[in-house]
């Protein structure tokens, strides 16, 4: 079954604007499928879809004269003299593509839809060359609502959760936590197939992003850093300690972290502070792009896995910080510096009271304890986010 992602309608709404539409995100999150859905929905025959992982398609962009590239599009059936639509998948494989797109947008009636699996690439090559000519959207693994659709479940999560409703939903949510939201994994029927699919995703990421795009001198150190980060999901990152453990400089570690974050493999969230300088200076916490990947590579606690899932569910809603005092008192997530979320396997009355006090002290708008198990009262469950 193929479902339309929530981002689909946003892209359709942008069909008539002149800017290039770029969809970026981690490998295997469904960017190609989404782009093909938009392509198929267009009421026009003057369109073309090219996969730039195919060396034959890459060759079209090797011309120095961009008019020659335009001519090649015409030989493929695109009438450039009229409104035309060009869809290019995996643009990070063609280094001069930003300047080609800029030239063709400026001179012809071409609407571009592009995908790339690396914001690292996009920020470095697209920021200046396509200034004012692009709109970037990020696509993440399936949220829980999209997960239910792909599973063909008829469950609709209500606002009020009784114990019986909780029991009906929790097996599917547990699967979502343990195996994540990559569409190709969700569609697998057996646990073994899911595990194999997750390892294939990790291998593809390491081979195509780290080895091909990263161009690092010490790929083994990058691999070892990834394994260390996965084992520390939900923890603060000590760059000096990582540097010592890996036998590389702090600057190198920071470069690797920037790359892993820029290619959507990890997220680094800063501490909550009203002082921006303090926020930048203090240690960040690390989370992985998908809890299924975490679970397939490292044996971590269910609580940490659940916390990683909650982070992934919240990140599309806005900027996220964490809060921690020297005494150890903490709040797992603060969304948009207004709403606190404290994640517990089973939230208790004490957890809710403590969070309420912190919300008042920090003058936040509101706070929610997020529970996996049923706990009654004023509790938000992970599957409601």
Residue range 296-344, pLDDT digits in tens = 999 999 999 999 999 999 998 999 999 998 888 899 999 999 999 999 9
Q: How far apart are CA 7 and CA 140, in angstroms?
A: 10
Q: Does residue 43 sit in helix, strand or coil?
A: coil
Q: Are 116 and 88 in contact (CB under 8 A)?
A: no
Q: In what helix (H) or strand (E) does residue 135 lie, and over which residues does it extend?
A: strand 134-138
Q: Are 26 and 264 in contact (CB under 8 A)?
A: yes
Q: How far apart are CA 265 and CA 119, in angstroms?
A: 11
Residue 362 neighbours by CB distance under 10 Å? 15
Average pLDDT, the chain: 93
**Distance in angstroms between the alpha carbons of the first and the last residue of the chain:** 24
Domain 145-384, second-level architecture? Orthogonal Bundle (1.10)
Q: In the prediction, which pLDDT does 127 show?
A: 59
Question: Which ranges in the chain are annotated with CATH 3.40.50.300?
Answer: 7-139
Question: How far lies 221's CA from each of 8, 151, 212, 230, 240, in Å?
Answer: 38, 38, 16, 14, 15
128 pLDDT exceeds 90?
A: no
Closest CA to 66 of 22, 112, 107: 107
- For the residues 362-382, what does the mean pLDDT come to? 94
Closest CA to 91 of 57, 44, 45: 57
Q: In the prediction, which pLDDT does 1 show?
A: 75
Q: In the prediction, which pLDDT does 277 show?
A: 58
Can you point out the beta strands (E) in 17-106? Answer: 20-24, 47-51, 84-89
Q: In the prediction, which pLDDT does 181 show?
A: 98
Q: How far apart are CA 225 and CA 208, in angstroms?
A: 17
Question: Which ranges in the chain are annotated with CATH 1.10.10.10?
Answer: 145-384
Q: In the prediction, which pLDDT does 131 show?
A: 74
- Tell me the Ramachandran region of residue 9: left when phi exceeds 0, alpha when psi lies from -120 to 50, beta otherwise: alpha
- For the residues 234-246, what does the mean pLDDT come to? 96
Residue 187 neighbours by CB distance under 10 Å? 14
CATH of 7-139 among 3.30.930.10, 3.10.20.340, 3.40.50.620, 3.40.50.300: 3.40.50.300
Q: In what helix (H) or strand (E) does residue 371 lie, and over which residues does it extend?
A: strand 366-371
**pLDDT tens column, 140-189:** 999 999 999 999 999 999 999 999 999 999 999 999 999 999 999 999 99
- Measured on CA atoms in the order 119, 271, 318, 200, is the torsion positive or negative? positive
HSE (side-chain half, CA atoms, 13 Å) at 215:
3
Closest CA to 43 of 8, 17, 12, 73: 12
- Tell me the Ramachandran region of residue 363: left when phi exceeds 0, alpha when psi lies from -120 to 50, beta otherwise: left
Q: How far apart are CA 342 and CA 322, in angstroms?
A: 10
């Amino acid at each position: 079954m193929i479902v339309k992602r929530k981002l689909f309608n946003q892209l359709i709404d942008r069909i008539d604007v002149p800017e290039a539409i770029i969809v970026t995100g981690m490998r295997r999150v469904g960017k190609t499928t989404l782009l093909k859905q938009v392509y198929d929905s267009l009421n026009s025959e003057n369109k073309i879809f090219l996969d730039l992982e195919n060396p034959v398609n890459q060759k079209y962009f090797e011309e120095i004269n961009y008019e020659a590239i335009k001519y090649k599009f015409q030989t493929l059936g695109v009438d450039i003299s009229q409104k035309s639509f060009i869809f290019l998948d995996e643009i990070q494989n063609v280094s001069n593509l930003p300047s080609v797109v800029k030239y063709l947008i400026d001179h012809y009636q071409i609407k571009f839809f592009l995908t790339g699996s690396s914001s690292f690439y996009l920020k470095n090559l697209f920021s200046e060359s396509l200034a004012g000519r692009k709109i970037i959207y990020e696509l993440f693994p399936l949220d829980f609502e999209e997960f239910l659709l792909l599973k063909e479940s008829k469950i609709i999560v209500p606002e009020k959760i009784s114990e019986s409703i909780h029991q009906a939903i929790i097996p599917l949510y547990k699967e979502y936590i343990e195996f994540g939201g990559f569409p190709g994994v969700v569609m697998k029927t057996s646990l073994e197939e899911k595990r194999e699919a997750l390892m294939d995703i990790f291998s593809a990421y390491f081979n195509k992003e780290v080895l091909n795009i990263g161009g690092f001198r010490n790929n083994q150190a990058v691999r070892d850093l990834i394994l260390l980060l996965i084992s520390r999901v939900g923890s603060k990152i000590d760059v000096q300690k990582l540097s010592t453990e890996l036998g590389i400089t702090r600057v190198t570690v920071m470069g690797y972290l920037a790359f892993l974050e820029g290619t959507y493999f990890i997220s680094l969230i800063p501490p909550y502070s009203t002082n921006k300088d303090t926020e930048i200076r203090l240690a960040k916490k690390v989370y992985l792009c998908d809890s299924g990947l975490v679970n397939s590579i490292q044996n971590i606690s269910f609580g940490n896995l659940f916390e990683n899932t909650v982070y992934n569910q919240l990140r599309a809603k806005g900027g996220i910080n964490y809060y921690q005092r020297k005494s150890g008192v903490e709040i797992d997530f603060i969304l948009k510096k207004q709403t606190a979320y404290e994640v517990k396997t089973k939230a208790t009355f004490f957890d809710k009271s403590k969070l309420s006090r912190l919300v008042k002290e920090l003058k936040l708008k509101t706070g929610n304890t997020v529970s996996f198990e049923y706990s009654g009262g004023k509790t938000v469950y992970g599957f409601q986010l």
